[in-house]
Amino acid sequence: MMRGDAAEEALLERAAALVTQYRIDSDDQLGPLFQSAEHADPEVMRRLRQMFEAGGWVLLESAIADLPADLRWLFESGAVTLEQLTAIYRARGATSVADLAAAVADVALGGIDGVGPDVETAVAAALPMLRVSIPRIPLGRATFIIEPFLAALRASAGINWAYPIGSLRRGQDTVGDIEIVASCADAAPILGQLLSIGDEGRCLHRSERRTYILSDRVQVGIRLPAPENAGAELLYLSGSPAHFGLLQTFAAERGWQLKPGGLFGPDGQLRPSPTEDNIYDTLGLPLIPPELRNGEDEVDKAAGGTLPTLFCRRDIRGDLHMHTTWSDGRDSIDAMVEASRALGYQYVAITDHSPHSAATRNLTIDGVKRQAEEIAAARERYPEIAVLHGCEVDILPDGRLDFPDRVLERFDIVLASLHERVGHSPDQLMKRYASAMRHPLVTLITHPSNRMVPHKPGYELDYDRLFQIAVETRTVVEIDGSPSHLDLDGELARRAIAAGAMVAIDSDSHRAEWLDRQMALGLVMARRGWVEARHVINARPLDEVRALIAAKRASR
Ligand code: DGT
């Protein structure tokens, strides 16, 4: 930032106006002063000047740092001055990349006073770079942060519907920002309620139908459009831009115009769209699930009536992977079973780690018998849900399993895992997997790529070969919903089912309170992979699960 005398002073005044725009609820020292500054009260301006002389830059810069993040980065990119940023906000209400992109697409920025075509070009060039140096938020963390906001909105009588937008709604592994769109007629009371959810008093921005609140040090944006056109806003903001582009082309070929602001008929009139369904429906398409909106072949498939019926929450009958205090879980068998029963599951498998796993605590051979007794007691206490005694056994470096067969035989279900690469090449890792899958007592391979989101990519294996062996050996491959795994991811899950492999969608939860959330993340990965109920072992009744286990065991 430049710091010449007159220039500094002018900038301070302009920044004051800008901060006033965004910090309506500000309760810090600076906010009230700047709010008054809008009325050019000479006394206030004198105090501002004093503050400036006394080093008020620090405070001012911290106020700028509190702008909605995309605007701050746009300013810091040098594409706009504070004055231009203020003008863009005033004219367009823009608070994010998506708003700026819509304005640029409309060729509307250049028409704003003080914002010429050169600025418009500069903004367009800056947009793709704005978030490049910002760490992305892992999907699991974003889901955790957004949960209370979504729950509060959905429980609110004035809200018709509320959804996350962007990559969070589409279930990408990581997201650039966290925002919600919720349709409502009267936004004012709802905006007030939301403030109590984030970090205390940390409202970064509030306008008539929009707020940005800090939660767990992350900005959560909430937009509350009026019902008439809220569906169009949700559709545009859900993206992906490539999917929206496909829809625009599809609409144009039929004489309609789809814009970020809504769907316009052949007569040029805006058609109301209270929900996304209205838009798809008007175009003669079924609603395309957000997880499929990647700008690939989904619009063609929807038009041809060949979209899959994606796996959904109500298809789940049980969870085949979870941990208890017998290894590194936090909760007891009873707590996990009780919580699973409350989720409406018909069966669960308790699957603690084997002796040489790198987990902080493991199941020992001696422990297996005592654990079996505890599971027997749980079965009596919870007759409404079947409890399978399982284990997650490590695949050792030589391909053998970390429990002898005489122990493995005692389990109702055996899950096998690679947790350690031990310097092995992809071929050696594949040999270990193949050896485990050929073991008749192994039903399921957990988190096959063994990636750690967002820190470690998965193994570079020949996955088509892995899935082929899974089919040959009648071994199930897992879609693991633990936020650090999300494995198989959507792309690999799609290849797995294309190969004919059966998948399981599991929580891999280490706490009762996380069972549902982690299952939901697994579900998102499965849906990104075009997985349907027929591909999923734990969408089947327990008898069929037992039959599959028995059939493979019978091949010994
Ligand atoms: P992220 O959070 O960086 O992973 O990206 P998204 O996909 O969440 O995008 P975001 O947050 O910048 O904007 C939300 C949605 O707004 C996005 O999914 C689609 C729409 N949008 C954003 N930028 C553009 C753009 O440049 N062109 C078009 N057509 N749509 C955009």
Number of neighbours of residue 430 by Cβ within 10 angstroms:
18
- Is residue 339 classed exposed, middle or buried when 0-12, 13-18 and 19+ CB atoms within 10 A define those classes? buried
Pocket test for ligand 1, best of 165, 178, 179, 247 (most atoms within 8 A of CB): 165
Looking at residue 322, what is its pLDDT?
98
177 Cβ inside 6 Å of ligand 1: yes
CB 415 within 8 A of CB 438: no
Count of CA atoms in the C-beta half-sphere (13 A) of 530: 17
Looking at residue 200, what is its pLDDT?
61
Q: What is the pLDDT of residues 511-541, one digit of tens each?
A: 999 999 999 999 999 999 999 999 999 999 9
Looking at residue 2, what is its pLDDT?
32
> Which residue type occupies 170?
R
Strand partners, 179: 221
pLDDT by residue for the chain (556 residues), tens digit each?
Answer: 333 344 445 555 555 555 554 443 333 444 444 444 444 455 555 655 555 555 555 656 666 777 888 988 998 888 988 778 878 887 888 999 999 999 888 877 777 877 888 888 999 999 999 988 888 999 999 999 999 999 999 999 999 999 999 999 999 999 999 999 999 999 999 988 887 776 665 788 888 899 999 888 899 999 999 999 999 999 999 999 999 999 999 999 999 999 999 999 999 999 999 999 999 999 999 999 999 999 999 999 999 999 999 999 999 999 999 999 999 999 999 999 999 999 999 999 999 999 888 777 888 889 999 999 999 999 999 999 999 999 999 999 999 999 999 999 999 999 999 988 778 899 999 999 999 999 999 999 999 999 999 989 999 999 999 999 999 999 999 999 999 999 999 999 999 999 999 999 999 999 999 999 999 999 999 999 999 999 999 999 999 999 999 999 998 7
Please report the DSSP string for 421-445 in residue order: -TT--HHHHHHHHHHHHTSTT--EE
Number of neighbours of residue 87 by Cβ within 10 angstroms:
19
**Alpha carbons 230 and 262: distance in angstroms, whole number:** 9
Structure token pair of residue 273? 């769209």
Atom of ligand 1 nearest to the CA of 131: 3
Looking at residue 12, what is its pLDDT?
53
What is the b/e burial string over 208-218, where b = at least 16 CB atoms within 10 angstroms of the residue's CB?
A: ebbbbbbbeeb
Report residue 358: phi and psi, to 5°.
-80, 5
430 Cβ inside 6 Å of ligand 1: no
What is the b/e burial string over 397-408, where b = at least 16 CB atoms within 10 angstroms of the residue's CB?
A: beebbbbeeebb
259 Cβ inside 6 Å of ligand 1: no
Closest C-alpha among 112, 236, 115, 229 to residue 166: 236
CB 440 within 8 A of CB 474: no
CATH of domain 137-225: 3.30.460.10
Which residue, chain included where needed, has tokens 């199930």? 476
**Alpha carbons 291 and 288: distance in angstroms, whole number:** 8
Rounded CA Rg of the chain = 27
Structure token pair of residue 316? 């789940």
CATH 3.30.460.10 positions along the chain are 137-225
Query: Quick one: the chain helix, strand, coil %, rounded to 5?
Result: 45, 15, 35
240 Cβ inside 6 Å of ligand 1: yes
CATH 3.20.20.140 positions along the chain are 318-543
Residue 165 C-alpha to ligand 1 middle, in angstroms? 9
**Alpha carbons 339 and 333: distance in angstroms, whole number:** 10
Three-state SS at 492: helix
Number of neighbours of residue 286 by Cβ within 10 angstroms:
13
CATH 3.30.210.10 positions along the chain are 238-283
| 318-543, CATH topology level | TIM Barrel (3.20.20)
Q: What is the pTM of this model?
A: 0.88
Residue 211 C-alpha to ligand 1 middle, in angstroms? 18
Residue 96 C-alpha to ligand 1 middle, in angstroms? 9
Q: What is the pLDDT of residues 246-270, one digit of tens each?
A: 999 999 999 999 999 999 999 999 9
**Alpha carbons 188 and 531: distance in angstroms, whole number:** 41
- Classify residue 524 as left (phi > 0), alpha (psi -120 to 50) or beta: alpha
Looking at residue 52, what is its pLDDT?
54
Residue 176 C-alpha to ligand 1 middle, in angstroms? 9
Strands 503-506 and 476-480: parallel
Which residue, chain included where needed, has tokens 């308790």? 350
Closest C-alpha among 442, 445, 515, 443 to residue 481: 515
130 Cβ inside 6 Å of ligand 1: no
Atom of ligand 1 nearest to the CA of 179: 11
Q: Where are the alpha helices (DSSP H) in 66-173?
A: 69-76, 82-92, 97-105, 117-126, 139-155, 166-170
H or E stretch covering 204: strand 203-207
68 Cβ inside 6 Å of ligand 1: no
**Number of residues that make up the chain:** 556
Look at ligand 1, atom 2, and give the residue with the nearest C-alpha: 176
CB 14 within 8 A of CB 82: yes
98 Cβ inside 6 Å of ligand 1: yes
Three-state SS at 311: coil
Look at ligand 1, atom 24, and give the residue with the nearest C-alpha: 98
Pocket test for ligand 1, best of 237, 247, 249 (most atoms within 8 A of CB): 237
Looking at residue 98, what is its pLDDT?
95
Structure token pair of residue 285? 């398409």
Structure token pair of residue 362? 């493991």
Looking at residue 24, what is its pLDDT?
33
The CATH number of domain 238-283, selected from 3.40.50.1000, 3.60.21.10, 3.30.210.10, 3.40.50.300? 3.30.210.10
Structure token pair of residue 172? 């990408």
